[in-house]
Structure 1
Amino acid sequence: MPGISKKGRQMPASPIRKLVPYAEEAKKKGTQVIHLNIGQPDIKTPKIALDAVRNHNIEVLAYSMTEGSEAYRTKIAAYYEKKDIHVTSNEIIVTTGGSEALSFVMGTIMDADDEIIIPEPFYANYNGFATALGVKVVPIVSKIDDNFALPPISDFEKLITSKTKAILICNPGNPTGYLYSEQEIKQLAELVKKHNLFLIADEVYREFTYDGREHYSILQEDGLEEHAIIVDSVSKRYSMCGARIGCLVSKNKTVVQTALKFAQARLSPPTFAQIASEAALETPQSYFNDVIHEYAERRDILISELQKLPGVRVAIPQGAFYCVVELPVSNSDDFAQWLLEKFEMDGHTVMVAPAAGFYATNGLGTNQIRIAYVLEKPLLIKAVQILGEALKKYSN
């Protein structure tokens, strides 16, 4: 048979989705699977967004502008203005999800074998985008002992070479839920200016911060105009994962003009999804107040229940809706598969995301999992009870 590309062979499988076949088999056997593995919010999409699609009067579903509709980009700029991020519609490219935005960014600023430094654990698809483009991920370890805070800047400097083009952070973080402080952003800003690098921030969870903390964007930092690139998305903010609408934002004109050429190759972002996303920008603040309150309560209950389990350690998320949990097992991949294949409690089991897939360094995260607290509170409590019983049985 014809051969598969080296790049194709190297593409990593999703640690979130690779266990799906085992979950489907468990469901066929009648076991109810509680999904803690994927960040699909159960919060309802704002009605205003869905109504905008229902009430459209389009007669020809034509291509939109490559960079996204002018009306939508203008409203995105107004949204950022409220967040103390001052950009214009010409500094925004609408993309097919935040994923495409990141792919465009990597293609725009990096060539094959160039290097990008990313604190790990990180969103697993960063590895996939880098592999697809021939870019080398250089991981820098953040630790559960430090709640996954930014590693020391001196550790970053040790990793910078002539091939280094950028530092990438997710703020708040997936899978850790860590929220970078203004001081940490300022430290990174000084570093990228000193070494003439790009600073890329995946800010798709910007709205979700807890305990009175506030998000500080890299585009709020003076002097980063030529260095800063934001990746954003409507997926989590408005519980619109299926819309597949995101954007790339930068004040660096060359970056935007170059990324536009990548966007032209895929023609345009989807029209109906842009209509929904534009309408979603009219969502009242009360919606977010309620959502943030709900997630904060879910977090508190989840953490409280997990801390009751012997041998379990958990980092305290300050944003997003994920946490990394360290288990008293040697191989969380094996444990996660065992949960689906061989364990049930009262007809239920849980599906988790093994954390090794969120690390680029071999051997790290092998006893950790990521939990997404996107389920109602009683279900989270039940899921942790199942996890506790499963750990007892698995260790025996």
Structure 2
Amino acid sequence: MTPTNPALATTFAPPVMEARRWLAGAEFPPDRPLLNVSQAAPVEPPPEPLRRVIAEAAMMRNEAHLYGPVLGNDDLRETLSASWSRFYDHPVAPDRVAITQGCNQAFCAAIASLAGAGDEVIIPVPWYFNHKMWLDMQQIRAVPLCCGPDMVPRAGDAAALIGPRSRAIVLVTPNNPTGAEYPADTLREFYELARAHGLALIVDETYRDFDSRDGPPHDLLRQHGAEETLIQLYSFSKVFRLTGHRVGALITGPQRLAEIEKFLDTVAISTGQLGQIAAEWGLRNLTGWVASERQEILGRADAMREATRDLPGWKLLSAGAYFAWVEHPFDQGAEVIARHLVREAGVLMLPGTMFMPDGEGRQAMRIAFANIDRQGIATLTARLAGFSRNGAANART
């Protein structure tokens, strides 16, 4: 047998793909179709004007089919830097922006510039599973940082985890998987901690456009030394529904981008042109549409909070952006309950065990509610209530 990379072999399977396998052999009658709340991705295509831009570029722009600059097209970097500067009310030059094949690649590039095998990166628990997977593949130790009851981590707790091999602290806000929005003061405390210890602070802001707060959610770009300490990650996948085009971004200092360019050139050479063209056009022309999308998602979050308030036995711990993090009321573990829900309630959601260290998360579930409308949320909670009443698992009293 040919060799297998042990670091890859011991990395857990992709959770969303694993959950989809639970659908094999399951039947969903017309009066109870599957409700899929397992993946945080828009199920609708981009708005029609954006699709027309993509189609025209594919037909009329020869450069749309060629390699581009490794760090991204100049026009997109310039437009994003201007947008970023307006949003955070602080200047960000284009030479601080890199365009990546999705936000996952931005995270991988950031980590590759910071750490190697045997180093440590502090990540909040529950974690975003692709972050944990990449660290495992690189043989970088993920040091779990427990969150408080509000699902927000504390800088004071992180301070106790810093050691000689620590290289970075990772935060995701609004959070995947919990939906929690981290307060600006919390982010500033983490920044000060990271800078004091010579660490990088990586802030994944994939869901920034669906934050319930108006205006910038933090002032980290204004802090002394931000170009060296702060690495911001962003995604166009959610805001413009460009998941299939894989366009993300990374904002940091030019010196780090010189290292990141090496990584990007090796794994992708350049991000796809059609996605970059779409993202640049969207930044200039879809401000009103994005505002409308944000209000719709915030409305769904409100509906999720309201619907779970009277859900027997279930407890909502946090909700925001695309997600709700809940506790189920059963004695059986979350993965067992998740499998039962597919066949007995027609619901596919991810168990908390997929976001936690081994042995943890047995009572937790993640609901990606942004993919269903308000009526779908009402249907979801009705099915969960019916599942509880029918005793499909041994309920805790």
Q: TM-score, normalised by structure 1?
A: 0.92
- Equivalent position of 2:373 in the other structure: 376
Structure 1 pair 320–28 and aligned structure 2 pair: CA distance change class (3 A): closer
CA contact (8 A) 2:119 2:167 kept: yes
Distance 1:215 1:21 in 2: 38
* Identity across matched positions, percent: 23
- Equivalent position of 2:42 in the other structure: 41
Gaps of 5+ in 2: none
- Equivalent position of 2:120 in the other structure: 115
Aligned length: 385
Distance 1:357 1:218 in 2: 31
Structure 1 pair 214–73 and aligned structure 2 pair: CA distance change class (3 A): closer
Distance 1:214 1:388 in 2: 38
Q: TM-score, normalised by structure 2?
A: 0.92
1:353-393 CA distances to partner (integer Å, 9 max, x unpaired)?
A: 1111112x322211111001121111111011111111232
Distance 1:323 1:29 in 2: 27
1:322-349 CA distances to partner (integer Å, 9 max, x unpaired)?
A: 01010112311011112223x14xxxx1
Q: Which amino acid aligns with 2:53?
A: A
Distance 2:382 2:192 in 1: 46
When the two chains are superposed, the root-mean-square deviation of aligned CA atoms in Å is 1.9
- Greater shift in the superposed pair: 22-31 or 131-140: 22-31
Structure 1 pair 246–303 and aligned structure 2 pair: CA distance change class (3 A): same
- Equivalent position of 1:73 in the other structure: 77
Distance 2:288 2:227 in 1: 32
1:297-323 CA distances to partner (integer Å, 9 max, x unpaired)?
A: 211221222121222111232x42101
Could you say which structure has the greater relative contact order, defined with CA pairs below 8 angstroms and 6 or more residues apart?
Answer: 1
Distance 2:219 2:383 in 1: 38
Structure 1 pair 106–338 and aligned structure 2 pair: CA distance change class (3 A): same
CA contact (8 A) 1:109 1:255 kept: no
1:49 Cα deviation (Å)?
2.3
Structure 1 pair 238–322 and aligned structure 2 pair: CA distance change class (3 A): same
- Mapping of residues 283-362 of structure 1, within 5 Å: 283-317=285-319, 319-329=320-330, 330-341=332-343, 343-344=344-345, 349-359=346-356, 361-362=357-358
CA contact (8 A) 1:48 1:279 kept: no
- Equivalent position of 2:393 in the other structure: 395
Structure 1 pair 376–103 and aligned structure 2 pair: CA distance change class (3 A): same
Distance 2:306 2:359 in 1: 28
Distance 1:214 1:24 in 2: 44
1:244-277 CA distances to partner (integer Å, 9 max, x unpaired)?
A: 00111102x3211000011111211111111111
- Greater shift in the superposed pair: 13-22 or 261-270: 13-22
- Mapping of residues 1-396 of structure 1, within 5 Å: 1-27=1-27, 32-42=33-43, 45-56=46-57, 57-59=60-62, 61-84=65-88, 85-143=90-148, 145=149, 147-151=150-154, 153-210=155-212, 214-216=216-218, 218-251=220-253, 253-265=254-266, 266-317=268-319, 319-329=320-330, 330-341=332-343, 343-344=344-345, 349-359=346-356, 361-374=357-370, 375-392=372-389, 393-396=391-394
Distance 1:316 1:338 in 2: 24
1:28 Cα deviation (Å)?
7.3
CA contact (8 A) 1:298 1:377 kept: yes
